Homo-oligomer: A and B are copies of this chain.
Amino acid sequence: MKARVTVTLKTSVLDPQGKAIEGSLRSLGFDGVESVRQGKVFDLEVAGEDKAKAEADIKAMCEKLLANTVIESYRVEIAG
């Protein structure tokens, strides 16, 4: 089963990397850019056909390894 996890910084957390990208885009002439925030995606393949179990497992992976829940939030999408 395929799943995608999206990890993004919480809105209250500063994102210097995003700010740097924003500056670079502006200096390339993209004046319309108002803000950029960067996050991560993880495309996982997990064994088994039980969607609910897969989702529970992946949430546990996020809590333990994939996301730093102090400053990041995550979203799990199970494909088809």
Instruction: Tell me if A14 counts as interface (CB < 8 A to partner B).
Output: no
Q: Is the CB of B38 within 8 A of A40?
A: yes
Chain A residue total in the interface (Cβ 8 A)? 33
How many copies of the polypeptide does the oligomer hold?
A: 2
Q: Please pick, from B8, B18, B30, B36, the residue contacting A60 in the complex, using a CB distance under 8 A.
A: B30
Instruction: Tell me if A6 counts as interface (CB < 8 A to partner B).
Output: yes
Chain A contacts with B in 17-57, Cβ cutoff 8 A: 18, 21, 24-25, 28, 30-48, 54, 57
- The complex places the Cα of A35 from the Cα of B31 at a distance, in Å, of 39
Listed in ascending order, the chain A residues whose CB lies under 8 Å from chain B are 6, 8, 18, 21, 24-25, 28, 30-48, 54, 57, 60-61, 64-66
